[in-house]
Structure 1
Amino acid sequence: MNKALEGIRILDFSHLLQGPFATQLLGDMGADVIKIERAGAGDMFRGMTFFAKWVGGSESPNFLAWNRNKRSIALNLKSRKVHAIIMEMAQTADVVVQNFRPGVLARLGYGYEDFKAVNPGIIYCSGSGYGEEGPYVERPGQDMLIQGLCGLIANTGRGDQAPVPVGAGLADQIGAMNMVYGILSALYYREKTGKGQKIEVNLLAGLLAHLNQEYVAVLNLGEDFVRPNSGIGHPGMQAPFGIYETRDGGYISIAMSPFKALYQVLQAPQLAVYDDLKTLFDQRDEVFGKVNAETRKFATQDLLARLLAVDIWCAEVKDIRRAAEDPQVMHMGMITSYEHPRGGKVRVVGPAVKMSETPATIERPAPLVGQHGREILAELGLSSQEIAALEACGDMTVDMA
């Protein structure tokens, strides 16, 4: 089967979420991703989990989520012998990805200039929290911290309660998409010119860019967003934009829709007095409460059917387990699985992008620490004796199921 990125080799020094998600996306499209992990410990995400539980008793769901379609080699990056090996690997690599704190890899001899010296066409993608210079360069750049700093958390939640972070690693995931966007652009530019380059991606810039409409509104309209007490779905929106209760304990989200159509479906003509854009904004908490009182008279599926019949933008609010069983999600085949040597059958979300000629596929499960080290070094031309010597002195570790 053809692969869009077949023949592209990536040296992946990244850890946690941002970099690993980016390289997984590229691996799904056929790139040969060599994950270079710390000897012994591996990626930091291997030691983190949710619910204080482990897949198959030992594997992190966090790591399994972002590291399929990769080969792992676990090396001591401080070793001069290892440095020479990686620079040899770089001669035939196309891309380097890393998201250590600014300057850390460069001090070990793995900065952009080091790779460029052995491969002028290399594309070096560096991810960070706040960029590689400036007053915050030494700060830890973690997802929730970035959400708070850029204004996203301040916009989320009810006005009479503390602001609420998004329930997913949004900054990291947007950062990963920006890495892929930059890498693919650089590969296309190199195809035309033969020139490599350095790409810098940071979490703060990524979230700022994705909040552009909010920034344009505040910076140009002279208004600040204020979270409504009712939980309207966006602090700049009027009612009924938000989440509403139903009789059977469920919830329905209602987005931009003609208010008249809504109160007619709800059989609540008394709401007609609010049917004006400014009124729906100025009195949005009051409107929310009155609409919510009406939606609680209906069972979830009955109300959904009534709203959809008149083309009101709505959807049921589902938790993750029920969303995985949603008929549209099942139709798209988005929940799939792979066999892991320790975790067993691991259910995962499949590739989101569909391509007619070069479809994305899952060829490899997330690797064990250094699982492919011997294989990768043998491809590089090292003898079995040289590989054994690296293992013996602790410069490389290999974990096999």
Structure 2
Amino acid sequence: MEKALEGIKVLDFSHLLQGPFATQLLGDMGADIVKIERAGTGDMFRGMTFFNKWVGGSESPSFLSWNRNKRSIALNLKSPRVREIIMEMAKDADVVVQNFRPGVMEKLGYGYEDFRAVNERIIYCSGSGYGESGPYVSRPGQDMLIQGLTGVAAATGRADQPPVPLGAGMPDQLGAMNMVYAILSAIIWRHKSGKGQKIEVNLMAGMMAHLNQEYVSVLNLDQDFERPNSGIGHPGAEAPFGIYATKDGRYVSIAMSPFGHLMRTLGAEELLRYDSRDQLYSKRDEIWEEVNKVTLTFDCDPLLEILLEADVWTAEVKDFRSATQDPQVVHLGLMTSYEHPIAGTVKCVGPAVRMSETPAEISRPAPMIGQHGQDILAEHGIDAAEIEALIASGDMTIQTKENTKARS
């Protein structure tokens, strides 16, 4: 079937998470993503993993997660001839994406003005940690650092513990979403005006925008959040909003549920003494402890059945492995896989959006380093002899199954 972004060509210089997730989302919708990696080592995420384990013995789960539906070419960006080739590629490209530190791409000759000089309609999306000017411009911008600076780590966890980082790289992933919506907006604007433009996205601004509820509350109510000492689910929330234990060692989350209705459903009418707005906030830790004692008298499944029957907003708290077996996840077909030449069958989460006429799909596995380099250069008129010369000089590399070594 036709894809929504079919015919859109993206030159993707990005690495790690923010930029690669953004371009993967565009690739899921049919854009031709040409991933331009460093000759030799490729994307930095190729050398990072969790648990000190590698998929198929050599491949990074982090890289595999954010780089499907792309073609890879691995080049030495400092080579004058490589720059000439890339600028030739840019003449029929629609979008450039990069997330190096500010100034790096300009120094190498790949800034917005460089691309605009050969293609006035180019859309150039630049991602950074803190923006492209200001006192933090030369600092490393990384997900956990942004969590600390923007307040979300200080708002997470219990009051008697240090600030807690989130269990996933949310600033990076929200940054990717901001890249995508800005790029798609720029494509629509270009369709109207014929003009390209430069887009600047940074992790700090993106995270703060997604914390707007918290900032509006603090700034307009003139009160800082204080973390609870219990399992209350937000530093500004009143009871019962939170996570509770069950007798069989599992947990349930209980969201915005009328306290009186919840207590009657649990058969804990004695706790109705807390049922006032003032107490539900001021005594929220005490209330959480009392409610937790009640939930600990139930096994998880019977508790969920009772609460859901009463239309209480509740769900089980699951780890990643058990979440994949959740009946709603199975019904939606969220878990899928693709075949990789080295890693074998890669299990993953499929595209999150459903479109009736132009569905997203996984059509390519995450590429090996420079896997498609010869084809990409041939498409732009580079003959076989020059391609061999680029490989021989080290200005271009190609990973194969045969030259891949297992990691210890």
The interval holding the TM-score normalised by the smaller chain is over 0.9
Q: For 1:158 and 1:266, locate their aligned partners in 2 and report how far apart those are by CA, in whole Å.
A: 26
1:134 corresponds in structure 2 to 134
- Is residue 130–residue 202 contact of structure 1 (8 Å, CA) maintained in 2? yes
1:319 partner letter:
D
Matching of residues 320-359 of structure 1 within 5 Å: 320-359=320-359
2:333 partner letter:
G
Residue 222 of structure 1, CA deviation: 1.2
- Is residue 304–residue 315 contact of structure 1 (8 Å, CA) maintained in 2? yes
TM-score, normalised to structure 1, is 1.00
1:30 corresponds in structure 2 to 30
Residue 134 of structure 1, CA deviation: 0.3
Residue 250 of structure 1, CA deviation: 0.3
2:254 partner letter:
I
Matching of residues 2-401 of structure 1 within 5 Å: 2-401=2-401
SS in 2 for 1:218: helix
Residue 124 of structure 1, CA deviation: 0.1
Residue 99 of structure 1, CA deviation: 0.1
SS in 1 for 2:195: coil
Query: Structure 2 regions of 5+ residues with no counterpart?
Result: 402-408
Q: For 1:284 and 1:79, locate their aligned partners in 2 and report how far apart those are by CA, in whole Å.
A: 62
2:219 partner letter:
L
Q: For 1:398 and 1:170, locate their aligned partners in 2 and report how far apart those are by CA, in whole Å.
A: 32
SS in 2 for 1:374: helix
Residue 60 of structure 1, CA deviation: 0.2
Q: For 1:255 and 1:165, locate their aligned partners in 2 and report how far apart those are by CA, in whole Å.
A: 22
2:310 partner letter:
V
- Give CA deviations for 1:351-371 in whole Å, capped at 9, x if unaligned: 001100000000000000000
2:349 partner letter:
V
SS in 2 for 1:73: strand
Structure 1 residue runs of 4 or more that deviate by more than 3 Å after TM superposition: none
- Is residue 159–residue 231 contact of structure 1 (8 Å, CA) maintained in 2? no
Percent of counterpart pairs with the same letter?
Answer: 70
Residue 264 of structure 1, CA deviation: 1.1
Residue 399 of structure 1, CA deviation: 1.1
Q: For 1:399 and 1:237, locate their aligned partners in 2 and report how far apart those are by CA, in whole Å.
A: 52
Q: For 1:353 and 1:200, locate their aligned partners in 2 and report how far apart those are by CA, in whole Å.
A: 25
SS in 2 for 1:121: coil
Q: For 1:163 and 1:233, locate their aligned partners in 2 and report how far apart those are by CA, in whole Å.
A: 15
- Is residue 237–residue 281 contact of structure 1 (8 Å, CA) maintained in 2? yes
Q: For 2:8 and 2:222, locate their aligned partners in 1 and report how far apart those are by CA, in whole Å.
A: 49
Q: For 1:231 and 1:307, locate their aligned partners in 2 and report how far apart those are by CA, in whole Å.
A: 19
SS in 2 for 1:154: coil
Residue 231 of structure 1, CA deviation: 2.6
SS in 2 for 1:155: coil
Residue 328 of structure 1, CA deviation: 0.4
Q: For 2:293 and 2:262, locate their aligned partners in 1 and report how far apart those are by CA, in whole Å.
A: 13
Q: For 2:326 and 2:253, locate their aligned partners in 1 and report how far apart those are by CA, in whole Å.
A: 16
Q: For 1:327 and 1:232, locate their aligned partners in 2 and report how far apart those are by CA, in whole Å.
A: 27
Residue 74 of structure 1, CA deviation: 0.1
- Is residue 240–residue 284 contact of structure 1 (8 Å, CA) maintained in 2? yes
Residue 266 of structure 1, CA deviation: 1.5
- Give CA deviations for 1:114-153 in whole Å, capped at 9, x if unaligned: 0000000000000000000000001110000000100001
2:404 corresponds in structure 1 to none
Q: How many residues align?
A: 401
Residue 269 of structure 1, CA deviation: 1.0
TM-score, normalised to structure 2, is 0.98
Q: For 1:321 and 1:220, locate their aligned partners in 2 and report how far apart those are by CA, in whole Å.
A: 41
- Is residue 265–residue 306 contact of structure 1 (8 Å, CA) maintained in 2? yes
CA-based RMSD of the aligned residues comes to 0.5
- Give CA deviations for 1:332-384 in whole Å, capped at 9, x if unaligned: 11100000000000001000011000000000000000000001001111111
SS in 1 for 2:389: helix
SS in 1 for 2:336: strand
Q: For 2:34 and 2:80, locate their aligned partners in 1 and report how far apart those are by CA, in whole Å.
A: 20
- Is residue 69–residue 364 contact of structure 1 (8 Å, CA) maintained in 2? yes
Residue 400 of structure 1, CA deviation: 2.1
- Give CA deviations for 1:233-263 in whole Å, capped at 9, x if unaligned: 0010001110000000000000000111111
Q: For 1:73 and 1:136, locate their aligned partners in 2 and report how far apart those are by CA, in whole Å.
A: 32
